[in-house]
Amino acid sequence: MDTILTFLSIFFQMYRNYKKVFRWILVSGLLLVLLFHFWSPWTSSGVDIRSKWSPVQKVLSKKMGDIIRGYPDINYHKKEEVACRLAQNACVCLAGEETFHLPFSSLLFPPVWAYNLQYAFLENHHDPEGIKHHRAQEYKNFQRRSYNPADVLIVAEANNPLQYPIQGVEVQPLKTIIILGLGLKQEARSSYTVNLTATLGTFDVAATVDRVSIKGEGEKDMTLSSPRLSALNRQLQFVTYTNIVFHPKTADPIQFATDGHQAFFTIKVGHRKVPKLYNSGYSGSYNITALVTIATKTFIRYDKLKDLIDSIRKYYPTVTIVIADDNKHPQPVTGPHIEHYIMPFGKGWFAGRNLAVSQVTTKYVLWVDDDFMFTANTKLEKMVDILEKTTLDLVGGAVREATGYTATFRHTISVEDGGEEGDCLHMRLGYHHVIEGFPNCVVADAVINFFMALTHKVQQVGFDPRLSRQGHLEFFIDSLGSLHIGSCSDVIVNHASKINLPWTKSDIQNAYEKFRYSSSGGHDSNELFYFKYRFKCMTRQ
């Protein structure tokens, strides 16, 4: 007690002697806070990141229709053995027929079986039409979020004089497609010839056209010729490509040539993207309990964790809370809608994040630190709203410190090519642009340690378990190019006070800080940045 009184006496004596200096520091500090709050070097007009069908796409769609429907007056003859390999407009649910009967034949040659999921699921559902509508809406949102203009089919009309698709041609591994957009626009001559060459597939035709000669059907090199240009162009509408080398994600460079001219385009080879939809109900308003799971990692600070849980239950009594715990002597954390997972002692910060997120089954996961506290301003509905209405994968909020300062920790991240010695990482305070329609939200590359995200997207990126004591921006470096990230300043969580005089700290606080800030047992961050990320330099603001 005497020590505290002595400290206060010295402080007030200094304040009387240097009153003007203290006032100047206070005013300067307030001005700096206002400056950082209202100013950003990256301010720009709002950009709408809600997917829309652009006028350019409408023009492209019409042009493709015109190309596909060209030469309707020229007859063709269907080549059944090739056409049957093409994908149909709709798949059918049919079991394979048993062609012969021998003892144990079903063991040696197991038959193909079919199971009608639609019938099996909807048969006993209390609202089949409602669930079909909800699934259709979720799929529409998935398509909007996963849409990429670089995948749209675009055909370069003949300038050289070859016409060919410059992007948007895709085939599944070992499957067959028609190559849309092939054509030849040449001046009159006695004969017209084109040649196609592939590396990972073969060419054929789904139908034949009279007066067109074809050489190399079913091979990697195929030549088509005709005395009639219109007949040749009609034949090019039926050219197929079959992938013959299995690779789940690659591309085949195709050479398309005629006399004195050649062009190149690629056919992407890969499986169809399987959607990940969540059946979270289909009511008009957001059901946070069905949509969101709250995840956290705790170590030693059970008192802080209890405060967090109590604050969550005040506003969201039925939301599931997943807790990863790597304490040496774990204490029970019980209650409704709580999942408590025990880890090996001191396993670490990012390992705990991985465990917690791996157990989330809802569409969204909200990450919080164990020393945060919900308030009336912690509106999870706002985070869900922007994730549902934009193409963002992750949106951060704001954290209010005990001092009253509110932080968003927004950063932009870029990687600059650095040659053989490695690349350069640049991190800057700020953001890219404001999101139109959401005036309190911006697009950035890294946000604060309070964020909501699509669960499967975070699981895909993951958290490096080598970061056992400290780490945050490393997750966003891993997610660079994979996650579309935003930050909204109007969803706020409180941060428990960290202002403690050394002699007022509890044994729990001292034990936590001993592990939290100890260099022993932690991963060498220099190795992480130098070797894993192949950086030779890092600049940061």
| 147-168: pLDDT as tens digits | 777 777 777 776 679 999 989 9
Does 95 reside within a domain? no
Q: What is the mean pLDDT of residues 359-381?
A: 96
What pLDDT was estimated at residue 321? 98
Q: Are 425 and 321 in the same domain? A: yes
Give the residue with greater pLDDT, 184 vs 131: 184
Contact residues for 421 (Cβ-Cβ < 8 A; gap 6+): 536
Average of per-residue pLDDT across 202-231: 96
Looking at residue 99, its pLDDT comes to 59
Max CA-CA distance within the chain?
110
Residue located via tokens 């089949």: 128
Most trustworthy range by pLDDT among 125-134, 160-169, 170-179, 515-524 = 170-179
Same domain, 257 and 210: yes
Q: Please give the pLDDT value at position 502.
A: 56
Q: What sections of 69-178 are H helices per DSSP? A: 80-83, 105-108, 117-122, 128-146
The pLDDT value recorded for residue 488 is 97
Q: Is residue 385 part of a domain?
A: yes
| In a domain? residue 121 | no
**Whose structure tokens read 């079913």?**
218
Give the CATH number of the domain where residue 225 resides.
2.60.40
Helix (H, G, I), strand (E, B) or coil at 130: helix
Which is more confidently placed, 504 or 81? 81
In a domain, 388, yes or no: yes
Q: Does residue 154 sit in the same domain as residue 233?
A: yes
420 part of a folded domain: yes
Domain containing 189 equals 56-84+149-270
So what's the pLDDT on residue 45? 57
Regarding whether 293 and 319 lie in a shared domain, the answer is yes
Give domain status of residue 37, yes or no. Answer: no
Q: List strand residue ranges (DSSP E) for 107-169, in order.
A: 154-156, 162-167
Strands 485-495 and 394-400: parallel
Between CA 518 and CA 300 the distance in angstroms is 15
Residue type, 158: A
Asked if the structure places residue 102 within a domain, the reply is no
What is the arithmetic mean of pLDDT over 332-349?
A: 93
My answer on whether 347 and 400 are in the same domain is: yes
443 in the same domain as 312: yes
* Within a domain: 69: yes
Taking alpha carbons only, the member of 214, 210, 215, 216 closest to residue 231 is: 210
Instruction: Indicate the pTM of the whole model.
Output: 0.77
Alpha helix ranges (H) inside 372-487 = 380-389, 455-461, 473-478
- Which range among 13-27, 86-100, 401-415, 445-459 shows the weakest confidence by mean pLDDT? 13-27
Number of domain units in the chain = 2
CATH (domain of 363): 3.90.550.10
Specify whether 516 is located in the same domain as 390.
Answer: yes
Report which of residues 143 and 89 the model is more confident about.
Answer: 143
Higher pLDDT, 446 or 85: 446
What separation, in Å, do the N-terminal and C-terminal C-alpha atoms of the chain show?
A: 42
For residue 38, pLDDT over 50 is answered with: no
Tell me the C-alpha to C-alpha distance, in Å, between residue 231 and each of 73, 205, 221.
10, 14, 20
Same domain, 409 and 526: yes
> Do 237 and 331 fall within a single domain?
no
Q: For strand 261-270 and strand 170-171, is the pairing parallel, antiparallel, or unpaired?
A: parallel
Residues 335, 423: one domain? yes
